[in-house]
Amino acid sequence: MAKIVGGIAASHTPTIGFAKDARKQHEPGWAPIFEGFEKIREWLARQRVDVLFMTYNDHITSFFFDHYSAFALGVDEIYHPADEGGKPREVPPVKGHAELARHIGYALMADEFDMSFFQGKPLDHGILSPLSVIGDETGRWHGSIVPLQVGVLQLPIPSARRCYRLGRSLRKAIQSFPDDDLRVAIVATGGMSHQVHGERAGFLNEEWDNEFIRLLETEPEKLADMRVAEYARLGGMEGAEVITWLIMRGALSDTVTKVHQQTYAPSVTNIATLIFEDIGDEPDPKEIAEYREHIYAQLKGAEELPGTYPYTLERSRKGFRVNDFLHRLIEPAHRERFVNDFEALADEYGLTEEEKDLIRRRDWIGLIRYGAIFFVLEKMAAVLGVSNPEVYAAFRGETLEQFLATRKVAMTYGVGAGGKTGGERQESGS
């Protein structure tokens, strides 16, 4: 069973990253920021933390309003710094703990949280501002992370109660991960009071910030009962993102020990650092075993269905590169190069020789077994002028005629425009 050693809260204002990159750590106006983060660094070292589970909100960098999720869990093995308008910060990429992330994803879905999952997306200052200060002089954190992006910028957003409940499930998820040596800290980023838009820009309320921290430690249920509008009134509209701290608090034991607290309001945002140590009892092994059964109950047996390849997070991770490559066939320029300049295009996307060979040979079932999902293969088929039933037949090891003989109507069709593969099948086979 993995162990939760405690929780951290840290502001993620870009001010922090700017100050580190500009080497302002020892200037009087900036030094207090780094003093608080030094306490976190020391605590992480003492606790021998391996993984940081980090809640954050992206600032319309990697996540945009064309698809904006409430809870998006990163399940990648590496995360690169994002370009937020100038160029990416010169900080190292961060290692992800993909196996733990997947386990948490299954657990939260089993507990009926409607999760989204992401990979291949860079991280903005929502994570990198605090993480780069927690790390060494180069900004490298030597453990790994599991990031959870909480959509709090486009209303409606999750309630404080929903965040707190997610934290309660997160505790069980992490404790049920089968690695007795893994030590995990829960990190809440963002907050505290601030507003960065409109005539109320620059709003601060340090009195509320201190009261929030007191309640977070001793009476989190009161915070869970508050409405988003109350958080906005007391802490500013953007300061309402502090509800994500309730995910961290929910993942800890009912009673915690506060070992560090600091707030500092030099400009637009009250910059905070906070550490709680978890002092809960060890979980009951029988309850952990039952919870593991609960996590994977929905899929149990599906993997035994012959000729069936459930598209799990594990398969998605393995096939991500080839799926991304084939998904981009929806772009005209990518389609044109796929047909006329495949080798160079595949090299640009870093496809392995195995992946290139599967595509060259139109090995439809081989691609499925490798980790491709059917819905990118039908895009590839459309580009090549191959009908969907021809792909189904190839999956089954049959000719098109053999497959169509098993259907009530012998029709061919595809997703491409122009009807090149559509309509009922003619005697010619076209």
What are the pLDDT digits (tens) for 145-203? Answer: 999 999 999 999 999 999 999 999 999 999 999 988 999 999 999 989 999 999 999 99
For position 305, what pLDDT does the model report?
95
Active site residue 142: no
263 in the same domain as 375: no
192 in the same domain as 175: yes
Which amino acid, one-letter code, is at 358?
L
**Catalytic residue (one of 67, 125, 197, 260):** 125
How confident is the model over 50-91, as pLDDT tens digits?
999 999 999 999 999 999 999 999 999 999 999 999 899 999
**Residue 392 is part of which domain span?**
305-419
Query: Average pLDDT of the chain?
Result: 94
Looking at residue 272, which CATH number applies to its domain?
Answer: 3.40.830.10
Which of 253, 284, 299 is the last residue before a domain boundary? 299
Task: Judge contact between 32 and 264, C-beta under 8 A.
Answer: yes
Instruction: Give the count of domains, the chain.
Output: 2
**Bond before 283 cis per omega within 30 degrees:** no
201 in the same domain as 53: yes
Distance from the first to the final alpha carbon of the chain = 58
Which of 252, 279, 299 is the last residue before a domain boundary? 299
pTM metric for this prediction:
0.93
327 in the same domain as 409: yes
Evaluate whether residue 429 is within a structural domain. no
How confident is the model over 236-268, as pLDDT tens digits?
999 999 999 999 999 999 999 999 999 999 988
80 in the same domain as 13: yes
Cα angle, residue 30 at apex, residues 184 and 202 outer, rounded to 5°: 90
Evaluate whether residue 427 is within a structural domain. no
For position 1, what pLDDT does the model report?
87
Distance CA 243, CA 248 (A): 10
Rg for the chain (alpha carbons), in Å? 25
Alpha helices in 60-124 (DSSP H): 98-110
Distance CA 56, CA 71 (A): 10
Evaluate whether residue 430 is within a structural domain. no
3-state helix, strand, coil in the chain (%, to 5): 45, 15, 40
283 in the same domain as 381: no
For position 418, what pLDDT does the model report?
60
Distance CA 314, CA 98 (A): 9
**Catalytic residue (one of 67, 103, 194, 294):** 194
Active site residue 194: yes
Distance CA 90, CA 289 (A): 44
Distance CA 299, CA 287 (A): 20
3-state secondary structure of 179: coil
Looking at residue 346, which CATH number applies to its domain?
Answer: 1.10.700.10
Q: Which two tokens stand for residue 179?
A: 């690695």
